[in-house]
Amino acid sequence: MNDSVLNDSVLSEITGPHRYRNAEAMLAHGERVWLRAAESGLLNIQVDHESNDRLIVRETGHEFSLLCSCSYLGLNHHPKIIEGAVSALRKAGTTGLSIAEIRVRLNLLVELEESLRDLYGAPALPGVSCSVLTAGILPLVASGHIGGGGPRVMVFDRFCHFSMAYIKPICGDESLVLSCPHNDLNYLEDICKKYPRVAYVADGAYSMGGRTALEGLLELQNRYGLFLYFDDSHALSIEGPRGEGYVRSNIEMNPLTLIVGSLAKGFGASGGVAMLGSEKDFQFLYRNAGPVTWSQNMDVPAIGACLASADLHRTPELGQLQAKLRHNIDVFDQRFPTRFSGNGLPIRLIEVGDEDLAVRLSEQLFRAGYYCSAVFFPIVARGAAGVRVMLRADFAPERLDNFCDVVESLMVSA
Ligand SMILES: *Cc1c(COP(=O)(O)O)cnc(C)c1O
């Protein structure tokens, strides 16, 4: 059946309302550049792994460094974490129990809950991924079941990660959903003055660089009882004495604050974690947080990897890796000053503006042995396309120098 069979009135009856998403509008733009990137050989690259600095394309023998990995500390290939995954599987003798965790769960998972609770100084709910935790928890913030007091106006920062924006339609079925200009505290304060209960949804450290306006947000929380929902995936492990991340290492937990993060980035394992502001939310979310309850939790190898990584976070090695990462960031910032220089976060954007130029730069870098992804609308704003560089602690100093030289020569010749 094709569109011509549907008359306009039927079409308008079954389309929309597109209040919070519009796939047609989004794909119309983004899909063209995706296909262009595919033609340039920048997608579906199939590799064998030797290290983050040595990925090998089997057919051609082409070797390259990954400069767009979120494994900021290089923990994704740490022998202790790999051993943790393997030994957990042997010890448990099962891949999992295949029953909702609220009913029956392995002591190994309970061990992880306790380990993360200790690490982060807060009740810590593990999940199969950060996105799944957000999908389960955010609608309960909107309805007021987390935070209390009834429905809350949900204010999403315009730059917040897709995994949160994606849940807007579900939140919108519970309460009023608004979008806030990036880090705009005045806008947010006006909303707080207008409505009695408000929640703000933001990244701690943003995927395209920069941080949330933490200090001002805490003031608004004090003054108006603002609920704060942070996704700190990009700062977990790389900041804080125990890798608590940017937000947790700068605040006291309270019942109006909740932090989620992915354990598949700096943490070097897989899964996600929610740091909760209230003890009673822990069991409540295990019972009621949608996909957290009805789908699998972490499988046994993931739990083992996370336990090993959490242990490693309690040793001096964490601080050493954090320092190496900071050093690499500083070296890059000195060569390529951007507006984020000196902010200590590992994500940098070499902005070129035009999407096709961004794809070409990414292609040239790949040929020279470095994979950095071209980013374009809707990942970034229209006309702000560029190449995203993500620095790692395990990026060898001589490779970094060479990478900077290559970027410089390509920028000059562009
Ligand atoms: C990568 C990322 C996610 C997704 O994490 P998963 O654990 O893979 O679901 C969520 N939020 C942010 C900010 C991210 O960068």
Category of 315 on φ-ψ map: left (φ > 0), alpha (ψ -120 to 50) or beta: beta
CA-161 nearest atom, ligand 1? 13
Distance CA 44, CA 41 (A): 8
* Whether residue 234 is found in the same domain as residue 187: yes
Q: Is 343 helix (H, G, I), strand (E, B) or coil?
A: coil
Q: Phi and psi (nearest 5°) for 290?
A: 45, -120
Assess whether the C-beta atom of 134 lies below 6 angstroms from ligand 1: no
Q: Is residue 13 part of a domain?
A: no
Domain limit, last residue, from 312, 331, 352: 312
Assess whether the C-beta atom of 69 lies below 6 angstroms from ligand 1: no
Q: Is residue 406 part of a domain?
A: yes
Q: Give 30-39 contacts, CB < 8 A, sequence gap 24+.
A: 30/376, 30/377, 30/378, 30/379, 33/355, 33/356, 33/359, 33/374, 33/376, 33/377, 33/385, 36/355, 36/356, 36/359, 37/359, 37/362, 37/374
- Convert 100-123 into a string of H (helix), E (strand) and C (coil): CCCCCCCHHHHHHHHHHHHHHCCC
Measured in Å, residue 163 CA sits from the centre of ligand 1 at 7
Measured in Å, residue 262 CA sits from the centre of ligand 1 at 5
How many C-beta neighbours within 10 Å does residue 94 have?
Answer: 12
Query: According to the model, what pLDDT value does residue 414 have?
Result: 62
Assess whether the C-beta atom of 197 lies below 6 angstroms from ligand 1: no
User: Could you tell me which residues are beta bridge partners of residue 107?
Assistant: none
Query: According to the model, what pLDDT value does residue 28 have?
Result: 86
* Whether residue 116 is found in the same domain as residue 213: yes
Q: Is residue 323 part of a domain?
A: yes
CA-70 nearest atom, ligand 1? 1
Q: Is residue 14 part of a domain?
A: no
Tokens of 189: 């304060």
Pairing of strands 198-203, 153-157: parallel
CA-262 nearest atom, ligand 1? 7
Tokens of 279: 């003890």
Measured in Å, residue 342 CA sits from the centre of ligand 1 at 24
Sheet of 198-203: strand order equals: 124-127, 272-275, 257-262, 227-231, 198-203, 153-157, 177-180
Q: Is residue 146 part of a domain?
A: yes
Q: Is 142 helix (H, G, I), strand (E, B) or coil?
A: helix
* Whether residue 147 is found in the same domain as residue 207: yes
Measured in Å, residue 143 CA sits from the centre of ligand 1 at 23
The DSSP 8-state label assigned to residue 208 in this structure reads T
* Whether residue 178 is found in the same domain as residue 218: yes
* Whether residue 170 is found in the same domain as residue 216: yes
Assess whether the C-beta atom of 131 lies below 6 angstroms from ligand 1: yes
Distance CA 264, CA 259 (A): 16
* Whether residue 197 is found in the same domain as residue 183: yes
- pTM of the full predicted structure? 0.95
The Cα-based distances of 3 to 9, 296, 346 in angstroms read 12, 39, 47
Measured in Å, residue 86 CA sits from the centre of ligand 1 at 24
Q: Is residue 409 part of a domain?
A: yes
Measured in Å, residue 412 CA sits from the centre of ligand 1 at 34
Query: According to the model, what pLDDT value does residue 275 have?
Result: 98
Distance CA 146, CA 151 (A): 10
Measured in Å, residue 20 CA sits from the centre of ligand 1 at 20
Measured in Å, residue 196 CA sits from the centre of ligand 1 at 30
Distance CA 381, CA 157 (A): 14
Measured in Å, residue 193 CA sits from the centre of ligand 1 at 32
CA-272 nearest atom, ligand 1? 7
* Whether residue 292 is found in the same domain as residue 329: no
Pairing of strands 124-127, 177-180: unpaired
Q: Is residue 12 part of a domain?
A: no
* Whether residue 355 is found in the same domain as residue 237: no
Q: Is 206 helix (H, G, I), strand (E, B) or coil?
A: coil
- Domain residues for the domain of 301 are 78-312
Query: According to the model, what pLDDT value does residue 296 have?
Result: 84
Measured in Å, residue 234 CA sits from the centre of ligand 1 at 8
Assess whether the C-beta atom of 212 lies below 6 angstroms from ligand 1: no
Fill in the amino acid letter for 226: L
Assess whether the C-beta atom of 157 lies below 6 angstroms from ligand 1: no
Q: Give 214-218 contacts, CB < 8 A, sequence gap 24+.
A: 214/246, 214/247, 214/250, 214/251, 216/185, 217/185, 217/188, 218/251
Assess whether the C-beta atom of 275 lies below 6 angstroms from ligand 1: no
Assess whether the C-beta atom of 231 lies below 6 angstroms from ligand 1: yes
Domain limit, last residue, from 277, 296, 312: 312
For ligand 1, mutation pick of 163, 167, 306 (most atoms within 8 Å of CB): 163
* Whether residue 97 is found in the same domain as residue 217: yes
Assign residue 104 the CATH number of its domain: 3.40.640.10
* Whether residue 144 is found in the same domain as residue 184: yes
Tell me: cis bond preceding 301? Omega within 30 of 0 counts.
no
Residues sharing a CB contact under 8 Å with residue 351, sequence separation 6 or more, in sequence order: 338, 384, 385, 386
Q: Is residue 178 part of a domain?
A: yes
Domain limit, last residue, from 248, 279, 312: 312
Tell me: cis bond preceding 378? Omega within 30 of 0 counts.
yes
For ligand 1, mutation pick of 130, 234, 309 (most atoms within 8 Å of CB): 130
CA-263 nearest atom, ligand 1? 7
**Looking at ligand 1, which residue's alpha carbon is closest to its atom 12?**
233
Assess whether the C-beta atom of 201 lies below 6 angstroms from ligand 1: no
Q: Which helix (H) or strand (E) holds 347?
A: strand 347-353
* 314, 308 contact by CB (below 8 A): no
**Quick one: which of 343, 290, 35, 299 has its CA closest to 141?**
290
Distance CA 353, CA 61 (A): 32
- Number of domains within the chain: 2
* Whether residue 164 is found in the same domain as residue 284: yes
CA-232 nearest atom, ligand 1? 13
How many C-beta neighbours within 10 Å does residue 376 have?
Answer: 25
Q: What is the pLDDT along the chain (414 residues), one digit of tens a residue?
A: 455 667 889 998 999 999 999 999 888 878 888 898 899 899 999 999 999 999 999 999 999 999 999 999 999 999 999 999 999 999 999 999 989 889 999 999 999 999 999 999 999 999 999 999 999 999 999 999 999 999 999 999 999 999 999 999 999 999 999 999 999 999 999 999 999 999 999 999 998 889 999 999 999 999 999 999 999 999 999 999 999 999 999 999 999 999 999 999 999 999 999 999 999 999 999 999 999 998 888 999 999 999 999 999 999 999 999 999 999 999 999 999 988 899 999 999 999 999 999 999 999 999 999 999 999 887 888 898 999 999 999 999 999 999 999 999 998 776
Assess whether the C-beta atom of 247 lies below 6 angstroms from ligand 1: no
Distance CA 273, CA 47 (A): 29
* Whether residue 109 is found in the same domain as residue 230: yes
Assign residue 407 the CATH number of its domain: 3.90.1150.10
Fill in the amino acid letter for 185: L
